[in-house]
Amino acid sequence: MTTQKDTWTIAGREFTSRLMVGTGKYASFQQTAEALEASGAEIITVAVRRVNLDRSKESLLDYIDTKKYTLLPNTAGCYTADDAVRTCRLAREAGMSDFVKLEVLGDEKTLFPDNEELLKAARILVKEGFTVLPYTSDDVIMCRKLEDIGCAAVMPLGAPIGSGLGIRNPYNLRIILESVRIPVIVDAGVGSASDAAIAMELGCDGVLMNTAIAGAQDPIAMARAMRLGVEAGRLSYKAGRIPRKLYANASSPLDGMIA
C-alpha cells in the first residue's frame, strides 16, 4: 500500500504533496527557497503587493522556479470583498493563473474570516472563472455554502493564523470532512509536525502553513519535519487506526508461559 500512488486533485490538477506552504516571514529569499525544497511542497502561497520603486529590484521569483511550483496568490490583508476581488484580478494578471487563496478578514486581532464578505467575494470570483480556495472558519455550514458556490476546495482554520495552537476543534473538521465533496485543507494554526499529522489523520486532504516553518529556529529542518508529519498522518489515516479501548490488551501471547 505504501508504494501505491496517492495523489489528489484541485480543480482537475493533480498533486502529490499534501503540504502547501507560504513564502512569508523568512530571513532571506535563499532561506525561503531552501525551506520550500525541504518541504516537498508543490503549491506555494504568495502575496500581492505594490512593487517597491525605491529599493532593490530583487524579487522572490528570482529564487523560485515557477515551473516547479504552483503559485497560489492570496488576498491576505483584505477586509472587504471588493478589495479581495480586486487583488485576485491583479494576481491573475501578474501570474497568468486562475488559482487564488481567498481570505477576507474580519478583525486584526484574531484574523478570523468575515464570512459574509467571504461568500460575496467567492461568488464573484467563481463567476469570473477563478479557481477559488477560501480560508474559512471551521464551520460546516460555511463550508457547504462555499462548495455550493463552486469553490475548488475549502480551507478551514485549525487555530488563528500564526498562533501555532494546533488543531483546536478536530470534531468540527470531521463534520466538515463528512459534509463536503471538495478537498478540505487545514489552513492556519499548525505549530508542529504532530499538529500536521493530526490534521491528516482526521482525513484532511492537505495542510497549508507558513509561520510554523518560517518562524521555527531552524526553518529548513522544520520544513522537512512538516513534510514527514503530513506523510505520516496521511499514511496513518489510510492504514486505519485501532479502536480506542479503556483497558489493556496484551501484545504477547498468553500460551506457552513458563509457569
Residues with a catalytic annotation lie at 101
Phi and psi at residue 142, to the nearest 5°: -60, -45
Q: Single out the residue of 38, 43, 71, 223 in contact with another protein (rule: CB under 8 A).
A: 71
| Shortest spacing between CB 233 and another protein, in angstroms | 20
| Shortest spacing between CB 188 and another protein, in angstroms | 8
51 touches another protein by CB under 8 A? yes
Q: What sign results for the dihedral spanned by CA atoms 194, 197, 198, 199?
A: positive
Phi and psi at residue 161, to the nearest 5°: -50, 130
39 touches another protein by CB under 8 A? no
Q: Interface with another protein by CB under 8 A: which range of 71-79, 126-134, 148-156, 219-227?
A: 71-79
User: 79 burial class (0-12, 13-18, 19+ CB within 10 angstroms)?
Assistant: middle
Q: Single out the residue of 13, 16, 25, 178 in contact with another protein (rule: CB under 8 A).
A: 25
145 or 162: whose CB is closer to another protein? 162
Q: Single out the residue of 43, 76, 121, 230 in contact with another protein (rule: CB under 8 A).
A: 76
Q: Single out the residue of 40, 95, 158, 229 in contact with another protein (rule: CB under 8 A).
A: 95
147 or 187: whose CB is closer to another protein? 187
Residues 96-155 contacting another protein, CB under 8 A: none
Structural contact between residues 200 and 18, judged by C-beta atoms closer than 8 angstroms = yes
254 touches another protein by CB under 8 A? no
Q: How far is CA 112 from CA 30, 55, 103, in A?
A: 31, 33, 9
Q: List, as one string, the DSSP characters of 150-183.
A: T-S-BEE-SSSTT-----S-HHHHHHHHHH-SS-
Q: Single out the residue of 118, 211, 216, 224 in contact with another protein (rule: CB under 8 A).
A: 211
| Shortest spacing between CB 92 and another protein, in angstroms | 8
Torsion of CA 50, 188, 182, 146, to 10 degrees: -70
Residues 215-244 contacting another protein, CB under 8 A: none
Q: Tell me the C-alpha distance between 119 and 156, whole Å.
A: 14
Q: Single out the residue of 15, 23, 78, 114 in contact with another protein (rule: CB under 8 A).
A: 23
Contacts of 48 (CB under 8 A, 6+ apart): 73, 74, 75, 87, 90, 91, 94
Q: Where do contacts with another protein occur on this chain (CB under 8 A)? A: 22-26, 29, 32, 45-51, 53, 57, 59-61, 71, 73-74, 76, 86, 89-95, 161-162, 209-211
